Amino acid sequence: MLRVRAADGHEWTIRRRLRLAPPRWRRFGGDLRATDAVWWLPDGSSDGLSDLLFWIVLVVFLAIAIVFLLPLIAFLSEAVLLGLAAAAVGGTWTVEATADDARDEPRSWNVRGWRGSRRLSRELAERLARDGQL
């Protein structure tokens, strides 16, 4: 954020913001409750052998999940973070210039890349300080 005093004496604020598209959330119909997800847990009303078999299968499944799925989740989360970093560096940025006394309408420009947004914000600050106009 840059604060600039224009040649005509008015204060301006110049901000840079990364424009990311919001995620599309999926909606499920019906009335879902948290207890609906655990209908398959043994409740102790069956014989002990089926309960023991259930817990053995659950432990084996969790062991496989930890050995195979945990590294996969770590890899995918790293890929997502790298994607966000690439979007931040090369994505579309919005540079906004706002007069602090609200005498002029806020103005905005869309710029490609982090460096481009930095360059434009400096250029706008210099233009305001020199000419007083954008």
**pLDDT band per the 50, 70, 90 thresholds, residue 40:** low
95 plus 79 within the same structural domain: no
82 plus 102 within the same structural domain: no
Alpha-helix residue ranges (DSSP H) falling in the chain: 48-64, 70-90, 114-131
Higher per-residue pLDDT: 21 or 108:
108
Q: Share the mean pLDDT of the chain.
A: 80
Q: Are 103 and 10 in contact (CB under 8 A)?
A: yes
pTM: 0.53
Most confident range, picked from 36-45, 82-91, 102-111? 102-111
83 plus 59 within the same structural domain: yes
**Structural domains counted in the chain:** 2
The reply to whether 11 falls in a domain is: yes
Q: What is the mean pLDDT of residues 111-115?
A: 86
